[in-house]
Chains A and B, each alone.
Chain A
Amino acid sequence: SFPGERTEEETEALAAGKSPGTEAADRGWAWGVVLHFFLVNVLVIGMLKTFGIFFVAFQEEVGGSSEQVSWIGSIMSSLRFLGAPLVAVVCRRLGERPTSIIGAGLVGGGCLLSTQATSIPFLCISMGLLLGMGFACLYQAAAVMTAKRCRTRLAFSNAIARSGMGLTFLIAPFTQLLIDSYGWQGTLLIFGGIMLNLVPSSMLLRPISTQLPQHSSAKNQNRGALTAKKDSEALDGCLDETTHREIQQRSAQDLPTTEGLRMCHGRDVSGAVNTPAWEKLQKPPTDSCSPETATEAKKSYKSLPLTEKENSQPLLDFSPLKDPIFCIFTWSFLFSHLAYFVPIFHLVARARTLGISSMDASYLISVAGITETVSQLLSGWVADQNWTKKYHYHVAYLVLGGITNLLCPLATTFPLLMTYAVAFAIFCGGFMALILPVLVDLVGVEKLHSYLGFAAFFAGIAAIGGPPLAGWLYDYTQTYVCSFLFAGACALISPISFFFEPSAQKWKLKKANL
């Protein structure tokens, strides 16, 4: 009874201590995560966009045809998406912070290694592979951490972080300046250093509920400490869950256990699931009570076996592929990506074919960029007000964007084209800002890693196929009109899947209750 009393006191202390003081600290850390995500967006997207400037320098010095050199850029940008499932696995095993630091290290190391490049295949690996994987690590870890930290204002924080992409236009002249002063090798060296800045900002990705590791690591001197830390990092802010584990650790009483379980019912399942696995380690020290509570936990959660497997064998988790919600989301994600990239590529070219000078055309692009950033922030803020479900906004933006694209061929003068660009930027910014919040709404935060990983993988396939497809469309029809019609069609096809969302949810519930 003495351990039990102490347990109750401690749980009260924990519960009390958590709320006022650490909530402010939590909010501070949430801003830190947004700052990190912002930096990731600026540097990653900036690096991808300025690759074109390096292209010329590589071609002259290292030799090789322009097709070979452009392979480097393609590998870099496609691995960012295609590497996501693998990164999701790593994230779940190690936690976001180590993954992000590894990502920053890969990027920095890749840049530094590229300075020694002497041939195109070398660059393909050092710049394409290393940088691509590093970007994937950074992006995945930052996105999921943002979703985990900023529960209430996810859309707005996501939009703030994505506005980093708007700043990337500054990186291009900066890169040119560096290349003129130091040559491409010196520029890559300095870029490597700048990317290393992502290491301290990755350290801001503090795992949630950091109190428990102190307690648990103090108790378990052996490997339990390490797994406890891992488990706590995988915990998704379920405060009651931590107290629940405290209780279970010392010959628990049944009443607080079930209370703890019930309190967490509305939140994440995996938190409760971690405990049985962790408890298996604890079996030798605590004898009778842990198996009981373990079985009790198993009884009250039917989905336990699946997620248990998830935790004990964290290999590639293919369960998202069987989920209809995932199919809905990926369908929409894929088509909206196509609808986004194709007009961007062809807007300037279309402006030129209409006789607009390239100065005015680049003016179009900068106005569109600024409008997009502003619209992202607005859309994020509006979505956070929770007037209606987030994916309704998403669908609305996509439909309006599709209609705008379909009307684009009617824009034949500069003012009309400017109107099109502004409208397109508004709707694009709107739906881009909502991709992550919509996924979080549909899926919840604990499975976000695997879902985001696979969704990014499929988006990567679209990203690889998009530009060549657009180019082929132009070659086939000899006009850019078709690309815009195609983009408009894609944008209209993508929200169709969301109409199946309510029925998919019902189907899922039925399956879970079976």
Chain B
Amino acid sequence: LLGVPGTSVEKNITLDRRTRIELSCRLDNKYSHLKSLQVTWKRGNETVRHINKTETSWSIQLRILDNSKLGSYSCTLKGEEEISAIFNLQVPKIEGKEKPIVSYEGDTAVMICKSFGYTPIAWAWYMTNGSEQIAINDTLLANKYVINRISANVTHMKILKLTKEDNGVYWCEAAFELGKSKGKLKLKVLSLMVPLKPFLAIVAEVVILVTIIFLYEMYSKKKEKSA
């Protein structure tokens, strides 16, 4: 990572499986005049050892084996000014849907979760009830929930026979070797009356217009007849 004095630079690295990774901080040639630099690699508050050093770069090698090794690693160069760079090691992010999915009572809703680029080991779905997250077991409630893994990176959950109680937030969770990642989806269940009201209003307006035009035509015909 190249850094400018006085600022902090950040980089996100996505890992989905166990691997060895080398993080290095390199000082740009412009600033090589800064002497007496002390470089510290930290993870949180903990200092990491085993630093490989060259003239202008400092790096560490990590073996990421499980979730506990993920997180933010920072390298701090202390000289006259302090320069730091942060590496965020994380599991792949799952995208849910920003906008709520709208569906109707008695209908079926389909919720889709996709993982981009990385293949999860397994998918799981959760429903939020109050503040708790309840796992959705599709074998238990097979006539209500149907979970399908359409492809390696995509999962579908169909909720049948929607009711008002199905309103709320759902989570799709992808399990990777190094951890789990969640995506958020919102479901809105409307009753049939909701769009029906504007529709009936429009139909009423249409009927009124038709009547007006019809009456006007009868009136003008009568006028012409009597003229």
Contact = CB atoms under 8 A, between A and B. Distances in A.
B227 to A, nearest CB: 6
Nearest to A206: B217
Nearest to B112: A60
A185 B190 CA distance: 11
B221 to A, nearest CB: 6
A481 interface: no
A182 B195 contact: yes
B199 interface: yes
B199 A189 contact: yes
Nearest to B221: A214
B195 A189 contact: yes
B201 to A, nearest CB: 8
A472 B103 CA distance: 39
Interface string B191-227: 0001110110011011001101110010011001101
Contact of A200 (B102, B213, B221): B213
Given A189-B196, A193-B198, A183 B227 contact: no
B102 A181 contact: yes
B58 interface: no
B118 interface: no
Nearest to B211: A200
Task: Name the residue among A183, A185, A192, A203 with the largest chain B CB count within 10 angstroms.
Answer: A183
A183 B198 contact: no
A182 B190 contact: yes
Contact of A190 (B112, B198, B227): B198
Interface residues of A, number: 29
Interface residues of B, number: 29
Task: Name the residue among B104, B112, B190, B202 with the largest chain A CB count within 10 angstroms.
Answer: B202
A185 B202 contact: no
Contacts of A183: 101-104, 190
A60 B202 contact: no
Contacts of A25: 220
Contact of B102 (A21, A22, A182, A206): A182
A98 interface: no
A210 interface: yes
A197 B195 contact: no
B110 interface: yes
A197 B190 CA distance: 26
Interface in B129-166: none
28 contacts: A17-B224, A21-B227, A60-B112, A61-B110, A180-B99, A182-B190, A182-B195, A183-B101, A183-B102, A185-B195, A186-B104, A186-B190, A186-B194, A186-B195, A190-B199, A190-B202, A192-B199, A193-B198, A193-B199, A193-B202, A196-B202, A196-B203, A197-B202, A197-B205, A200-B213, A203-B213, A203-B214, A210-B221
